[in-house]
């Protein structure tokens, strides 16, 4: 996965003994890393966010299907 670090993203250390957290406060430059590392040496990952599902009305479903089918 080639996602670049961007401003406002939060990361947490993958080491269960460390669990250090960070937030990117300024937009990184062009040579930004794709996977930040913690001070302990472990990889940092984005924290899990439970997905939020919304119920579609029949009208919304028709509109989304029309966009998907004809694009």
pLDDT digits (tens), the chain, 71 positions:
456 777 888 999 999 999 999 988 877 666 666 778 899 999 999 988 899 988 888 998 888 888 777 65
**Could you give the CA distance from residue 68 to residue 70 in angstroms, rounded to a whole number?**
6
Domain-located, residue 59: no
Domains in the chain, number:
1
Domain-located, residue 33: yes
Domain-located, residue 15: yes
Residue 25 belongs to domain spanning: 1-49
Domain-located, residue 35: yes
Domain-located, residue 57: no
Domain-located, residue 69: no
Domain-located, residue 70: no
Domain-located, residue 65: no
Q: What is the pTM of this model?
A: 0.60
């Amino acid at each position: 996965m080639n996602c670049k670090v961007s401003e406002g993203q939060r990361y947490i250390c993958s080491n269960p003994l460390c669990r250090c957290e960070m937030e990117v406060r300024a937009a990184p430059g062009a040579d930004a890393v794709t996977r930040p590392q913690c001070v302990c040496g472990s990889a940092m990952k984005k924290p899990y966010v439970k997905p939020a599902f919304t119920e579609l009305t029949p009208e919304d479903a028709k509109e989304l299907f029309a966009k998907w089918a004809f694009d």
